[in-house]
Amino acid sequence: MNDRPNMPLPDLYRTMRRIRSFEERVAELYVRNGTAGSMLHLSIGEEGAAAGVCAALRPDDSFTTHHRSHGIFLARGADPNRMMAEIAGKSDGYCRGKGGSMHIADMALGHLGANAIVGGGIPHAVGAGLSYRRLGSGAVSVAFFGDGAMQQGVLYESMNMAALWQLPVLFVCVNNQYGMGTRIDRAAARTDFAERAEVFGLAAMNVDGENVGAVFTAAEALIASARAGRPGFLCVSCFRFYGHGRMDKSPYRSAEEEEAGRRRDPLLTARNALIERGLATTAELDAVDAEIANEMDATIEFAIAAEPPPLSAMFDDVYAPGEVRPEPMRMRLERILACT
């Protein structure tokens, strides 16, 4: 792995293993009919992007994510119990069960919000960067998005504004090769995304997401550059192990492509590197894996046992305190029927 000798690879491996194990439990909860909503987007195979970039952030930095965001938030330090409860639509979740899988947010951890709209969270990071520059806080805001957003006009408007105003912003494209069922080379004539960002004046890099150390090194350099007034763009190439959503069997990919892509497993690459460098033994890594598996097993039981939000909480966090709230239709009907 092409990373610095003093790079915290054991910590990055642990973060990636926690993401992988959590996502596997999300899939299990879905099968057990315990999730809220009908769509879940797993990031298995993309752990190197989340772990590598988030490890380079400071506590006062912020970020926005897309609909495939569980791993990024977990890498930032999220509580997996509260995350799983949110995915299950329970009141113990980060958004009291009303955000679900695609709309988790937590200002305390700098998470300005996930977004189900392709590219929808990108301008929010630019807005945060503008406020940081005006306040002189030294913080950086990161916009995470998928390769599908590379075809969205809002990205180019945002990159132009960030470069023009020299904002402390890093744009991170997690390129998992597919926008839903369309391979990227069938959606874009030129797939070197860093070239596009350079045209706007951004510091830009492409990096292989299989190598979490390389992701960390690239992110660290680009974030330092953004703090100094030159925004950046990082394209992390990954392979999405599963389909677009949990129920997508990815019939648009051949068995050979699936097999080749899964060989790019960032966890396996990091695990082999740790053993080869003498930084960990197989037994030690197995113990780490088992410890994390137990931790993530508990998230399912926590989510199942948690209570759903009451109907009375429907308009909480929607209207300002003291403002008259609308009456839910169910309550209105019950009131009318009670008078008849």
Instruction: Express as a percent the part of the chain with pLDDT over 70.
Output: 97
Please give the residue that has the higher pLDDT: either 224 or 186: 224
- The SS3 call for residue 233 is strand
Q: What is the reported pLDDT for 16? A: 98
pLDDT digits (tens, 9 = 90+) for 27-56: 999 888 888 876 788 999 999 999 999 999
List domains and CATH numbers for the chain.
9-338 (3.40.50.970)
Between CA 336 and CA 340 the distance in angstroms is 7
pLDDT digits (tens, 9 = 90+) for 172-220: 999 998 888 888 888 888 889 999 999 999 999 999 999 999 999 999 9
Q: How many CB atoms lie within 10 A of CB 223?
A: 22
Q: How many CB atoms lie within 10 A of CB 76?
A: 23
Q: Would you say residue 3 has pLDDT above 50?
A: no
User: What's the whole-number mean pLDDT along residues 75-93?
Assistant: 95
Question: How high is the mean pLDDT of the chain?
Answer: 92
User: What's the whole-number mean pLDDT along residues 289-298?
Assistant: 97
Q: Which residue has the tokens 């069997």?
A: 249
Its pTM stands at 0.91
- How far is CA 198 from each of CA 125, 165, 194, 215, 234, rounded to the nearest angstrom? 19, 15, 6, 19, 11
Q: Would you say residue 84 has pLDDT above 60?
A: yes
Pairing of strands 141-146, 178-179: unpaired
Q: Which residue has the tokens 């925004």?
A: 231
Contact 231, 171 (CB under 8 A): yes
Q: What is the reported pLDDT for 320? A: 85
Taking the alpha carbons of 333, 334, 335, 339 in that order, is the dihedral positive or negative? positive
Q: Would you say residue 164 has pLDDT above 80?
A: yes
